[in-house]
Amino acid sequence: MRKVEISIEGMSCQHCVVRLKKTLDKVEGILSSEVKIGSATIEFDESQLDESVLKETINRAGYRAVG
């Protein structure tokens, strides 16, 4: 297991937080996610995915993973 914090641009309200959390929670290999405006802390199984998949998922949800 690995835990990362990813900075996110483009989030402006609680609706954005809920939307992104639902999106992340659907990804196979993500064990937990804590999303707030501007960042997400994600715990995931490294044998199933890597950090680039997390960032791609955030970007596809309409936000921008930075860093």
pLDDT at 48: 96
pLDDT at 26: 96
Q: What are the angstrom distances between the C-alpha of 53 and each of 12, 14, 15, 41?
A: 23, 23, 23, 14
Structural domain harbouring 14: 2-66
Q: How many CB atoms lie within 10 A of CB 32?
A: 12
Indicate the pTM of the whole model: 0.92
Q: Is the pLDDT of residue 67 over 90?
A: no
> How many domains does one find in the chain?
1
CATH number of the domain encompassing residue 47: 3.30.70.100
Residues 1-60: tens digit of each pLDDT: 999 999 999 999 999 999 999 999 999 999 999 999 999 999 999 999 999 999 999 999
